[in-house]
């Protein structure tokens, strides 16, 4: 999913833990209920400027979701995924200011709060009564564990699941055999002078890392690629991805075809004008060249479907605001893992039937301040494919979906 490899050291630790026959017994934790202490301390704290307009709920259940983005049931599920790793690995130094060992639940809460708020480690630590170094240790331990244990929440669908997705896309947008929507966003950071280069400096003169994602009709991430410098174009990012190689080799988007008006229609995804027009990636007609109701109708349907990916990134960066802030000198080898875990958490919320607070998602665009890129590359087969879809939409005479 990304052009980076996990270090053998961390990977071997997790594999060793995974092979244990007996789940380690969690050390006895002699501390008051962590949530009660946290709630009493933070429920009246002034809202940070970054969350202006999003007030702390007075209801504890909603308050829990405000601070950690997930309901208590989903929180417990996340704890169950990482418990074995957090218990079996030596928790040296992971104590609060009163000298008590941190429970798994408190460790997960600290990590989720750090990812959800994007606040400094010092600020997050103060809200839990722990030090900055503890927040750093706990967050990274959690990221390593969830990255390994939650893989099943972000994977390409099997044939049966893909048929469901295609059926939903057609029912919602009228697009036959559509498997998803693609988009990309920048994760902005500052870099030490010795690490700066033109590769990491993007079109808006920010140092950034790219994240590309493909989502289904529920805005669930099906595939991501990250780790690449923000200085490259979106079209180049696509071509550097494993997804592109798989599609070009006929090993992805290679499921059942549809015959429409005598024309065979393969599986495809929809993307914006920053992407090339390909047989398996359909982009809109150029807006300045619309000459018929056919192309106008196609673009309207295409746009509503494509906006699923835009909205997914708005939810992702709104929920896990560490991705929406300027990261201060992050380790570029670790940043892809942080991004991946935020995407996993995004999917876990959807998979568990959880609902985000309605005001959490960002407003506007997930890449605020960035101008839209435009790719002029096209494949003649992709052009024919788009034309066939546009003709089918006219013939089907379905009602144009609303945004």
Asked if residue 3 has pLDDT above 60, the reply is: no
What pLDDT sits at residue 30?
A: 45
**Average pLDDT, stretch 32-60?**
76
Please provide the average confidence, as pLDDT, over all residues in the chain.
86
Q: Please state the three-class secondary structure of the chain as a single string.
A: CCCCCCCHHHHHHHHHHHCCCCCCCCCCCCCCCHHHHHHHHHCCCCCCHHHCCCCCCCCHHHHHHHHHCCCHHHHHHHHHHHHHHHHHCCCCCCECCCCCECCHHHHHHHHHHHHHHCCCHHHHHHHHCCCHHHHHHHHHHHHHHHHHHCHHHCCCCCHHHHHHHHHHHHHHHCCCCEEEEEEEEEEEEECCHHHCCCCCECCCCCEEEEEEEEECCCCCEEEEEEEEECCCCHHHHHHHCHHHHHHHCCCCCCCCCEEECCEEECCEEECCCCCCEECCEECCCCHHHCCCHHHHHHHHHHHHHHHHHHHHHHHHHHHCHHHCCCEECCCCCCHHHHHHHHHHHHHHHHHCCCCCCCCCCCCCCCCCCCCCCCCCCECHHHHHHHHHHHHHHHHHCCCCCCC
Using an 8 Å Cβ cutoff, are 222 and 246 in contact?
A: no
Question: pLDDT tens across 384-402, in order?
Answer: 999 999 999 988 865 455 5
The span from the CA of 23 to the CA of 38, in Å, is 29
Which region among 151-155, 354-358, 367-371, 396-400 has the lowest average model confidence (pLDDT)?
Answer: 396-400
Asked if residue 91 has pLDDT above 60, the reply is: no
Q: Which residue has the tokens 């969350």?
A: 51
What pLDDT sits at residue 291?
A: 65
Which region among 86-100, 185-199, 206-220, 380-394 has the lowest average model confidence (pLDDT)?
Answer: 86-100
The set of residues, in sequence order, having a beta carbon less than 8 Å from that of 69 and lying 6+ positions away, is 112, 116, 319, 320, 345, 349, 356, 357, 360
What pLDDT sits at residue 175?
A: 96
pLDDT band with cut points at 50, 70 and 90 for residue 270: very high
Q: Which residue has the tokens 């010795």?
A: 194
Asked if residue 125 has pLDDT above 60, the reply is: yes
Asked if residue 355 has pLDDT above 90, the reply is: no
What pLDDT sits at residue 203?
A: 85
What pLDDT sits at residue 331?
A: 84
What pLDDT sits at residue 18?
A: 45
C-alpha 179 chain-centroid distance? 18
Asked if residue 277 has pLDDT above 60, the reply is: yes
């Amino acid at each position: 999913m990304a052009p980076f490899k996990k270090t053998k050291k961390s990977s071997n630790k997790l594999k060793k833990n995974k092979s244990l026959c007996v789940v380690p017994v969690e050390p006895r934790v002699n501390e008051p209920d962590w949530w009660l202490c946290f709630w009493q301390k933070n429920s009246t704290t002034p809202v940070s400027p970054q969350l202006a307009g999003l007030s702390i709920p007075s209801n504890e259940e909603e308050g829990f979701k405000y601070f950690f983005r997930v309901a208590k049931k989903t929180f417990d599920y996340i704890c169950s995924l990482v418990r074995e790793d957090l218990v079996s690995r030596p928790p040296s130094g992971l104590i609060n200011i009163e000298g008590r060992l941190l429970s798994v639940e408190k460790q997960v809460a600290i990590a989720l709060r750090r990812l959800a708020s994007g606040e400094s480690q010092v600020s997050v630590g103060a809200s839990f009564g722990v030090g900055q170094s503890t927040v750093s240790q706990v967050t990274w331990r959690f990221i390593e564990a969830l990255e390994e244990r939650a893989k099943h929440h972000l994977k390409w669908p099997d044939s049966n699941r893909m048929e469901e997705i295609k059926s939903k896309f057609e029912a919602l947008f009228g697009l036959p055999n559509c498997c998803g929507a693609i988009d990309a966003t920048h994760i902005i950071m500052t870099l030490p002078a010795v690490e700066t280069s033109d590769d990491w400096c993007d079109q808006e003169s920010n140092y950034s890392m790219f994240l590309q994602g493909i989502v289904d009709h529920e805005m669930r991430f099906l595939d991501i690629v990250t780790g690449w410098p923000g200085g490259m174009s979106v079209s180049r990012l696509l071509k550097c991805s494993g997804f592109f190689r798989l599609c070009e080799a006929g090993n992805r988007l290679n499921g059942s075809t549809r015959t429409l008006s005598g024309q065979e229609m393969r599986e495809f995804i929809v993307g914006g004008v920053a992407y090339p027009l390909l047989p398996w990636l359909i982009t809109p007609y150029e807006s300045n060249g619309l000459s018929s109701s056919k192309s106008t109708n196609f673009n309207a349907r295409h746009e509503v479907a494509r906006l699923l990916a835009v909205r997914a990134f708005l939810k992702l960066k709104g929920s896990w605001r560490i991705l929406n802030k300027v990261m201060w000198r992050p380790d570029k080898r670790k940043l892809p893992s942080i991004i991946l875990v935020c995407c996993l958490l995004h999917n876990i919320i959807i998979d568990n039937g959880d609902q985000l607070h309605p005001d959490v998602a960002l407003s506007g665009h997930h890449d605020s301040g960035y101008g839209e890129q435009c790719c002029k590359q096209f494949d003649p087969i992709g052009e024919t494919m788009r034309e066939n879809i546009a003709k089918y939409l006219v013939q089907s005479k379905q009602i144009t979906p609303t945004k």
